[in-house]
Protein backbone atom coordinates (compact mmCIF):
# COMPACT_ATOMS: atom_id res chain seq x y z
CA UNK A 1 0.00 0.00 0.00
CA UNK A 2 1.06 3.60 -0.55
CA UNK A 3 -0.05 6.51 1.64
CA UNK A 4 -2.48 5.80 4.45
CA UNK A 5 -5.99 7.17 4.10
CA UNK A 6 -6.78 9.69 6.83
CA UNK A 7 -10.30 9.08 8.18
CA UNK A 8 -11.90 10.84 11.19
CA UNK A 9 -13.83 7.74 12.35
CA UNK A 10 -13.78 4.01 11.53
CA UNK A 11 -16.09 1.37 13.03
CA UNK A 12 -15.41 -2.36 12.75
CA UNK A 13 -17.03 -5.26 14.57
CA UNK A 14 -17.33 -9.04 14.75
CA UNK A 15 -13.72 -9.89 13.95
CA UNK A 16 -13.90 -13.10 16.03
CA UNK A 17 -10.18 -13.44 16.64
CA UNK A 18 -9.46 -16.99 17.78
CA UNK A 19 -11.76 -18.69 15.26
CA UNK A 20 -11.03 -20.29 11.89
CA UNK A 21 -13.46 -17.93 10.17
CA UNK A 22 -11.58 -14.75 11.07
CA UNK A 23 -9.93 -13.00 8.10
CA UNK A 24 -7.08 -11.65 10.23
CA UNK A 25 -4.57 -11.07 7.42
CA UNK A 26 -7.09 -9.15 5.36
CA UNK A 27 -8.08 -7.03 8.35
CA UNK A 28 -4.44 -6.31 9.14
CA UNK A 29 -3.93 -5.06 5.58
CA UNK A 30 -6.94 -2.79 5.95
CA UNK A 31 -5.81 -1.41 9.32
CA UNK A 32 -2.34 -0.70 7.94
CA UNK A 33 -3.90 1.23 5.04
CA UNK A 34 -5.78 3.74 7.20
CA UNK A 35 -4.99 6.45 9.73
CA UNK A 36 -8.19 7.06 11.70
CA UNK A 37 -8.55 9.73 14.34
CA UNK A 38 -10.93 7.38 16.19
CA UNK A 39 -11.25 3.61 15.79
CA UNK A 40 -14.33 1.98 17.33
CA UNK A 41 -14.17 -1.79 17.86
CA UNK A 42 -17.87 -2.57 18.17
CA UNK A 43 -17.88 -5.95 19.90
CA UNK A 44 -16.97 -9.60 19.28
CA UNK A 45 -13.37 -8.67 18.59
CA UNK A 46 -11.85 -11.57 20.53
CA UNK A 47 -14.12 -14.62 20.43
CA UNK A 48 -13.94 -15.76 24.06
CA UNK A 49 -16.76 -18.27 23.51
CA UNK A 50 -14.57 -20.25 21.10
CA UNK A 51 -11.15 -19.26 22.47
CA UNK A 52 -8.65 -22.10 22.95
CA UNK A 53 -4.91 -22.08 23.54
CA UNK A 54 -4.51 -24.43 20.58
CA UNK A 55 -5.77 -21.88 18.03
CA UNK A 56 -4.66 -18.28 18.14
CA UNK A 57 -2.24 -17.91 15.22
CA UNK A 58 0.32 -15.16 14.72
CA UNK A 59 -1.92 -13.42 12.16
CA UNK A 60 -4.58 -12.93 14.86
CA UNK A 61 -2.02 -11.62 17.34
CA UNK A 62 -0.73 -9.23 14.67
CA UNK A 63 -4.18 -7.61 14.47
CA UNK A 64 -4.05 -6.88 18.21
CA UNK A 65 -0.50 -5.56 17.87
CA UNK A 66 -1.57 -3.24 15.04
CA UNK A 67 -4.48 -1.87 17.08
CA UNK A 68 -2.15 -1.20 20.01
CA UNK A 69 0.33 0.44 17.63
CA UNK A 70 -2.39 2.70 16.23
CA UNK A 71 -3.37 3.68 19.78
CA UNK A 72 0.25 4.48 20.64
CA UNK A 73 0.52 6.62 17.50
CA UNK A 74 -2.43 8.81 18.47
CA UNK A 75 -5.58 7.00 17.33
CA UNK A 76 -8.33 6.99 19.94
CA UNK A 77 -9.34 3.31 20.23
CA UNK A 78 -12.69 2.52 21.84
CA UNK A 79 -13.43 -1.15 22.46
CA UNK A 80 -17.17 -1.74 22.93
CA UNK A 81 -17.91 -5.16 24.38
CA UNK A 82 -20.11 -7.70 22.61
CA UNK A 83 -21.58 -11.03 23.65
CA UNK A 84 -18.56 -13.09 22.53
CA UNK A 85 -16.23 -10.88 24.59
CA UNK A 86 -18.68 -10.10 27.39
CA UNK A 87 -16.10 -11.23 29.98
CA UNK A 88 -14.56 -7.79 29.48
CA UNK A 89 -17.73 -6.01 30.60
CA UNK A 90 -16.66 -6.09 34.24
CA UNK A 91 -13.83 -3.76 33.19
CA UNK A 92 -16.08 -1.27 31.38
CA UNK A 93 -15.14 2.41 31.61
CA UNK A 94 -11.47 1.44 31.79
CA UNK A 95 -9.21 4.04 30.16
CA UNK A 96 -5.47 3.77 29.51
CA UNK A 97 -3.95 6.46 27.33
CA UNK A 98 -5.79 6.43 24.01
CA UNK A 99 -7.48 3.09 24.74
CA UNK A 100 -10.97 2.90 26.25
CA UNK A 101 -13.29 0.01 27.14
CA UNK A 102 -17.05 0.62 27.17
CA UNK A 103 -20.45 -1.07 26.80
CA UNK A 104 -21.84 1.64 24.53
CA UNK A 105 -20.83 4.98 23.10
CA UNK A 106 -22.54 8.26 22.25
CA UNK A 107 -20.65 10.61 19.96
CA UNK A 108 -21.38 14.04 18.54
CA UNK A 109 -20.58 13.94 14.83
CA UNK A 110 -20.84 17.38 13.31
CA UNK A 111 -23.76 18.24 15.58
CA UNK A 112 -25.51 14.87 15.13
CA UNK A 113 -25.86 12.50 18.08
CA UNK A 114 -24.56 9.03 17.28
CA UNK A 115 -25.37 5.92 19.33
CA UNK A 116 -22.94 3.01 18.97
CA UNK A 117 -23.37 -0.38 20.66
CA UNK A 118 -22.86 -4.03 19.71
CA UNK A 119 -26.53 -5.04 19.62
CA UNK A 120 -26.67 -8.29 21.60
CA UNK A 121 -29.01 -6.60 24.13
CA UNK A 122 -31.77 -7.23 21.57
CA UNK A 123 -30.94 -10.92 21.27
CA UNK A 124 -32.64 -13.16 23.85
CA UNK A 125 -30.50 -16.11 22.70
CA UNK A 126 -27.44 -14.56 24.37
CA UNK A 127 -29.04 -14.68 27.83
CA UNK A 128 -29.72 -17.39 30.39
CA UNK A 129 -30.24 -21.00 29.34
CA UNK A 130 -30.54 -19.98 25.68
CA UNK A 131 -26.98 -18.68 25.90
CA UNK A 132 -25.71 -22.28 26.14
CA UNK A 133 -27.63 -23.16 22.98
CA UNK A 134 -26.28 -20.03 21.30
CA UNK A 135 -22.72 -21.11 22.12
CA UNK A 136 -23.39 -24.55 20.68
CA UNK A 137 -24.84 -22.86 17.62
CA UNK A 138 -21.68 -20.76 17.41
CA UNK A 139 -19.56 -23.93 17.34
CA UNK A 140 -21.72 -25.25 14.51
CA UNK A 141 -21.30 -21.98 12.63
CA UNK A 142 -17.51 -22.17 13.05
CA UNK A 143 -17.57 -25.72 11.65
CA UNK A 144 -19.72 -24.56 8.74
CA UNK A 145 -17.24 -21.77 7.98
CA UNK A 146 -14.37 -24.27 8.07
CA UNK A 147 -16.14 -26.71 5.72
CA UNK A 148 -17.10 -23.82 3.44
CA UNK A 149 -13.45 -22.70 3.32
CA UNK A 150 -12.18 -26.16 2.40
CA UNK A 151 -14.83 -26.48 -0.33
CA UNK A 152 -13.84 -23.10 -1.75
CA UNK A 153 -10.17 -24.13 -1.73
CA UNK A 154 -11.09 -27.12 -3.89
CA UNK A 155 -13.29 -24.97 -6.14
CA UNK A 156 -10.37 -22.61 -6.77
CA UNK A 157 -8.12 -25.57 -7.64
CA UNK A 158 -10.75 -26.67 -10.16
CA UNK A 159 -10.91 -23.18 -11.62
CA UNK A 160 -14.43 -22.54 -10.35
CA UNK A 161 -15.88 -19.54 -8.53
CA UNK A 162 -16.00 -19.45 -4.74
CA UNK A 163 -19.35 -19.62 -2.98
CA UNK A 164 -20.43 -18.67 0.54
CA UNK A 165 -22.60 -21.61 1.57
CA UNK A 166 -22.71 -20.45 5.19
CA UNK A 167 -24.11 -17.09 4.08
CA UNK A 168 -26.58 -18.76 1.71
CA UNK A 169 -27.88 -20.98 4.50
CA UNK A 170 -28.35 -18.04 6.87
CA UNK A 171 -30.05 -15.93 4.20
CA UNK A 172 -32.44 -18.75 3.32
CA UNK A 173 -33.61 -19.45 6.86
CA UNK A 174 -36.84 -17.52 7.42
CA UNK A 175 -36.28 -17.13 11.16
CA UNK A 176 -32.83 -15.65 10.55
CA UNK A 177 -34.17 -13.21 7.96
CA UNK A 178 -36.99 -12.22 10.30
CA UNK A 179 -34.57 -11.76 13.19
CA UNK A 180 -32.36 -9.40 11.17
CA UNK A 181 -35.38 -7.33 10.14
CA UNK A 182 -36.68 -7.14 13.72
CA UNK A 183 -33.18 -6.30 15.00
CA UNK A 184 -32.79 -3.38 12.60
CA UNK A 185 -36.31 -2.09 13.28
CA UNK A 186 -35.90 -2.27 17.06
CA UNK A 187 -32.55 -0.46 17.03
CA UNK A 188 -33.93 2.25 14.75
CA UNK A 189 -37.15 2.79 16.74
CA UNK A 190 -35.27 3.21 20.03
CA UNK A 191 -32.81 5.60 18.38
CA UNK A 192 -35.69 7.68 17.01
CA UNK A 193 -37.24 7.86 20.49
CA UNK A 194 -33.92 9.08 21.87
CA UNK A 195 -33.61 11.68 19.08
CA UNK A 196 -30.37 10.23 17.71
CA UNK A 197 -29.34 10.93 14.13
CA UNK A 198 -27.32 7.71 13.73
CA UNK A 199 -27.48 4.29 15.38
CA UNK A 200 -24.60 1.89 14.73
CA UNK A 201 -24.59 -1.82 15.58
CA UNK A 202 -22.71 -5.02 14.84
CA UNK A 203 -23.70 -8.51 16.09
CA UNK A 204 -25.78 -9.78 13.16
CA UNK A 205 -22.92 -9.86 10.60
CA UNK A 206 -24.99 -7.95 8.04
CA UNK A 207 -23.42 -4.73 6.73
CA UNK A 208 -26.07 -2.09 6.22
CA UNK A 209 -26.72 1.61 5.69
CA UNK A 210 -30.33 2.73 5.46
CA UNK A 211 -32.69 5.42 6.66
CA UNK A 212 -35.54 4.22 8.85
CA UNK A 213 -38.59 6.40 9.35
CA UNK A 214 -41.77 6.12 11.41
CA UNK A 215 -44.45 8.46 12.72
CA UNK A 216 -42.05 9.79 15.38
CA UNK A 217 -39.15 10.69 13.13
CA UNK A 218 -36.25 9.14 11.25
CA UNK A 219 -32.74 7.82 11.86
CA UNK A 220 -29.85 6.45 9.83
CA UNK A 221 -29.31 2.81 10.81
CA UNK A 222 -25.81 1.45 10.14
CA UNK A 223 -24.20 -1.93 10.71
CA UNK A 224 -20.46 -2.50 10.33
CA UNK A 225 -20.88 -6.13 9.24
CA UNK A 226 -18.04 -8.50 10.11
CA UNK A 227 -14.60 -9.88 9.22
CA UNK A 228 -15.75 -13.48 8.88
CA UNK A 229 -17.85 -13.41 5.71
CA UNK A 230 -18.38 -9.83 4.53
CA UNK A 231 -15.06 -8.12 5.40
CA UNK A 232 -16.59 -4.68 5.93
CA UNK A 233 -16.15 -1.51 7.95
CA UNK A 234 -17.93 1.80 8.38
CA UNK A 235 -16.02 4.98 7.58
CA UNK A 236 -17.09 8.53 8.45
CA UNK A 237 -15.50 11.37 6.52
CA UNK A 238 -16.62 14.85 5.40
CA UNK A 239 -19.91 14.45 7.30
CA UNK A 240 -20.81 11.30 5.36
CA UNK A 241 -20.85 7.58 6.14
CA UNK A 242 -19.63 4.96 3.69
CA UNK A 243 -19.50 1.18 3.85
CA UNK A 244 -16.04 -0.18 3.07
CA UNK A 245 -15.75 -3.63 1.44
CA UNK A 246 -12.34 -5.31 1.44
CA UNK A 247 -11.09 -6.28 -2.01
CA UNK A 248 -7.94 -8.34 -2.24
CA UNK A 249 -6.85 -6.80 -5.53
CA UNK A 250 -6.32 -3.48 -3.76
CA UNK A 251 -3.44 -5.05 -1.83
CA UNK A 252 -0.18 -6.38 -3.16
CA UNK A 253 0.03 -9.48 -1.01
CA UNK A 254 -2.76 -11.60 0.36
CA UNK A 255 -3.51 -15.18 1.31
CA UNK A 256 -7.01 -16.52 0.99
CA UNK A 257 -8.82 -17.82 4.06
CA UNK A 258 -8.79 -21.28 2.50
CA UNK A 259 -5.01 -21.26 2.07
CA UNK A 260 -4.56 -20.03 5.63
CA UNK A 261 -6.80 -22.72 7.12
CA UNK A 262 -5.28 -25.55 5.11
CA UNK A 263 -1.83 -24.31 6.13
CA UNK A 264 -2.86 -24.26 9.81
CA UNK A 265 -4.40 -27.74 9.61
CA UNK A 266 -1.27 -29.19 7.98
CA UNK A 267 0.88 -27.59 10.69
CA UNK A 268 -1.34 -29.09 13.39
CA UNK A 269 -1.08 -32.55 11.84
CA UNK A 270 2.70 -32.30 11.59
CA UNK A 271 3.18 -30.85 15.07
Sign of CA dihedral 48, 53, 57, 63: positive
CATH of domain 5-270: 3.60.21.10
As a whole-number percent, the residues of the chain with pLDDT over 70 amount to: 73
Query: Alpha-carbon distance 227 to 154, whole Å?
Result: 22
Categorise residue 205: left if φ over 0, alpha if ψ from -120 to 50, beta otherwise.
left
pLDDT band at 250 (very low <50, low <70, confident <90, very high): low
**pLDDT tens digit string along 131-180?**
444 444 455 566 666 677 677 667 777 887 766 656 655 555 445 556 67
For residue 52, report the phi and psi dihedrals to the nearest 5 degrees: -140, 150
Q: Which of 91, 98, 80 is nearest to 201 (CA)?
A: 80
Domain residues of the chain, as ranges?
5-270
φ, ψ dihedrals at 198, nearest 5°: -130, 145
Higher pLDDT, 249 or 100: 100
Strands of the sheet with 208-214, listed across from one edge: 104-109, 112-117, 198-201, 217-223, 208-214
Amino acid sequence: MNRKRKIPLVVISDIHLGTYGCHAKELLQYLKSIQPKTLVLNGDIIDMWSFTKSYFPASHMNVLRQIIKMSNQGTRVIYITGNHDEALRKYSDFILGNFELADKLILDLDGKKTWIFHGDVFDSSTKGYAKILAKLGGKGYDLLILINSLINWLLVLLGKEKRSYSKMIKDSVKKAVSFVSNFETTAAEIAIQKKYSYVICGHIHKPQMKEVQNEHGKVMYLNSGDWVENLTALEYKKEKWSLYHYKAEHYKEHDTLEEKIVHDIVNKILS
